[in-house]
Amino acid sequence: MPKKIKNKHGVQHAKLPKLPHGYKNLSDLIVEYARPMLDEAETVEMQKQAIEIAIFCWKTSLLPEDERIKEIETMVKENKSGREGAVEMIKYMIDRRLNIYPDVNRQIMVHEVAKLDNGMLVFYLASTGADVDLKQTRTEQVYVKVDKTYIKQKPG
């Protein structure tokens, strides 16, 4: 269990474990995790979709393998895109998460990708502040951290 610290107001907060590779926010890490898809995205809508897919893959990668397979099958059935290509891309992204960020098991609770008036995207997410199994935390307190990241647009 993370060590608790008291701030000057007497409220207790969990001391958050550091993210790898110098990332300060999980949202920054997720944007980098989604980079292969973001680099291929030609429009802001495609960038939004890339983040949504990355979030799905991140969440799915945290499931036991048998549940992962069911989740992928359900998503592909609901999505009208090409099945084979979608499954391969999802598997690639899950493997990417497991290989590059094996020790980051934060659960993403909610997220939003919004387009600003200037055309940029902003990505918000709320995650568990530490690696927890949400199924085991019905009676325990879960710390939530909210992050925000701006997604840079391609020039031109």
CB-CB neighbours of 115 under 10 Å:
14
| pLDDT per residue as tens digits for the range 27-85 | 889 999 999 999 999 988 899 999 999 999 999 999 999 999 899 888 877 776 656 67
pLDDT band at 17 (very low <50, low <70, confident <90, very high): low
Separation CA 150–CA 17 (nearest Å): 23
Domain definitions of the chain by residue range: 24-151
**Which residues, other chains included, contact 15 with Cβ-Cβ below 8 Å and sequence gap of 6+?**
2, 3, 4, 5
Give me the residue label for tokens 């999980």.
Answer: 26
DSSP 51: H
**Mean of the pLDDT values across residues 100-116?**
88
